[in-house]
Amino acid sequence: MLRGGRTKIATLLGAKELGREVVAKGWVRTKRGNKNIAFVALNDGSTIHNIQVVVDVAQFDEELLRSVTTGACLKVTGTLVESLGSGQPVEIQATAIELYGTADPETYPLQKKGHSLEFLREIAHLRPRTNTFGAVLRVRHAMAFAIHNYFNEHGFVYLHTPIITGSDAEGAGQMFSVTTFDIEAPPRDEQGQIDFTKDFFGKHCNLTVSGQLEGELGAMALSEIYTFGPTFRAENSNTPRHLAEFWMIEPEMAFCEIEDNMNLAEDFLKYLITYALTHCRDDLEFLAKMYDEELIPRLQFVVGNDFVRLDYAEGIEILMASGQKFEFPVSWGLDLQSEHERYLVEKHFRKPVILTNYPREIKAFYMKQNDDGKTVRAMDVLFPKIGEIIGGSQREESLEKLTARCAELGIPEKDVWWYLDTRRFGTAPHSGFGLGFERLLLFVTGMANIRDVIPFPRTPKNAEF
Ligand code: 4AD
Ligand code: MG
């Protein structure tokens, strides 16, 4: 089916049948040449590669050709022929050019190549037109597709959990409020507190930090589910690994203990990386050439090796014995920072690491408590260059232990009664984890800043586009 009256450039570049008339549409990346002949590199986002359009200057209107500048949008009709130049298999000998839209060279921000990633963040509305962001966005799409594919093949049900919620799943309290109140003058009760019973939902609501709690409700009926949606955290951390709005994939499995959970996490990550190596080769090679020579060997290494599985306590011992100076000093009970995670992964083991059995005090209320009374059955997957890529756990399935933990942490039962009902009625061992989609993309693309793997990043003081 021909859509939009054109063939995509990715298809044209792979075409075997030459000598026929084709139509390509896209944006001009470069134009070069002389008085007699012009070469226009055209890109439509279907591939990292441009198609070369060869223009016999004498055959075309001078005015029209003057307007064919970087950024302009064209319809090109011509003959698809073998290319004599190196670097491309085929090119188009133009017979007609229609100009859809000009791009004034004086003001088009992408007139020149080689802009810094920092600058491109300021023009996030135009940066998809660069090679880098074209590549990143195609890989992002491929990974989203592969995620659904993986779970579909393994019999998981895609569960849509709400974005607006009344609960704080992670208990970190870093939530964005959702309200229809006039923020200048919200209704107040007799004590002067804001009266959320009069708000849209009749209670104080927030944007979700995780779909897990609702995911568990699904798993306790459908046995294996996953969520894949946006999550929001109002943490004021301006790091290259944190976003205020990010996407998370959260599988949740009934009848699974922590070992099954670790096995799934490892198999899932390896599947996704293999998928990228197989289906996004051109884009990965481009990104490797531009930013990170080690990218492809690093991806292959992760796919080809078992992840190390280690107790948190052993991890702490290794860090303490390392002789390394850390910004945050190490002792049992420490919530590991990325400097510690990366030491274990990059310096000590030189492999991805799954750390388990963390101190209960630094982990969420729902994690399964170990018999030692000190640790919970948490698991974090730590990756080179990234640190934590996955956080998960076996869940506490005992109603008694869970309500006791809620009481200790001051979580009112009236807020989580529906969650506790899964333990009250037909409880079962179950486990799950959350993969940060953009952290995965950082790893797969080799990009260094999380703002560069999502089309329109949301970070403190940044929501322009
Ligand atoms: O470790 P976290 O907070 O775990 C949860 O939210 C659990 N409810 C998941 C579960 O068990 N179903 O977050 C999970 C992952 C992290 O490992 C990280 O990859 C990513 O989400 N993440 C972020 N990514 C970008 N920006 C942020 N601010 C992130 N916070 C967490
Ligand atoms: Mg975590």
Q: Pairing relation of β-strands 224-232 and 157-158?
A: parallel
**CA-CA distance, 438 to 446, in Å (whole number)?**
11
| Secondary element (H or E) of residue 76 | strand 73-82
Tens-place pLDDT, residues 5-41:
999 999 999 999 999 999 999 999 999 999 999 999 9
Ligand nearest to the CA of 235: 1
Model confidence at 236: pLDDT above 90: no
Pocket test for ligand 1, best of 207, 258, 437, 439 (most atoms within 8 A of CB): 439
The CATH label, of 3.40.640.10, 3.20.20.370, 3.90.1150.10, 3.30.930.10, for the domain at 127-173+209-452 is 3.30.930.10
Q: What does residue 224 show for φ and ψ, rounded to 5 degrees?
A: -135, 120
Q: Residues 93-151: pLDDT tens digits?
A: 999 999 999 999 999 999 988 899 999 999 999 999 999 999 999 999 999 999 999 99
172 pLDDT band (50/70/90 cuts)? Answer: confident
Q: Would you state the pLDDT for residue 85? A: 79
The number of helices, as runs of H, and strands, as runs of E, in the chain is 13, 16
Q: Could you state, in order of their start, the residue ranges of all structural domains in the chain?
A: 3-108, 127-173+209-452
pLDDT, tens digit, 9 for 90 and up, residues 258-289: 999 999 999 999 999 999 999 999 999 999 99
Say if residue 169's pLDDT is above 80: no
Question: Across residues 327-355, what is the average pLDDT?
Answer: 96
Closest atom, ligand 1, to C-alpha of 392: 11
Strand partners, 250: 227
Residue of 38, 113, 112, 119 whose CA lies nearest to 74: 38
pLDDT at residue 235, rounded to an integer? 87
- Cα of 411 from ligand 2 centre, angstroms: 20
Is the per-residue pLDDT at 86 higher than 90?
Answer: no
Topology (CATH level 3) of domain 3-108? OB fold (Dihydrolipoamide Acetyltransferase, E2P) (2.40.50)
* Ligand 1 atom, smallest distance to 440 CA: 19
Question: Using N-to-C axis directions, what is the helix angle for 295-304 and 437-445, rounded to 10°?
Answer: 120
Q: 218-250: b or e for each residue (b if 16 or more CB lie within 10 Å)? A: bbbeebbbbbbbebbbeeeeeeebbbbbbbbbb
Residues lying with their CB under 5 A of ligand 2, a single-atom ion = 391
pTM summary value: 0.97
The pair of three-digit structure tokens given for residue 119, joined into one six-digit string? 């600058």
Nearest atom within ligand 1 for CA of residue 434: 9
Give the mutation target among 140, 167, 210 for probing the ligand 1 site: most ligand atoms within 8 A of CB: 210
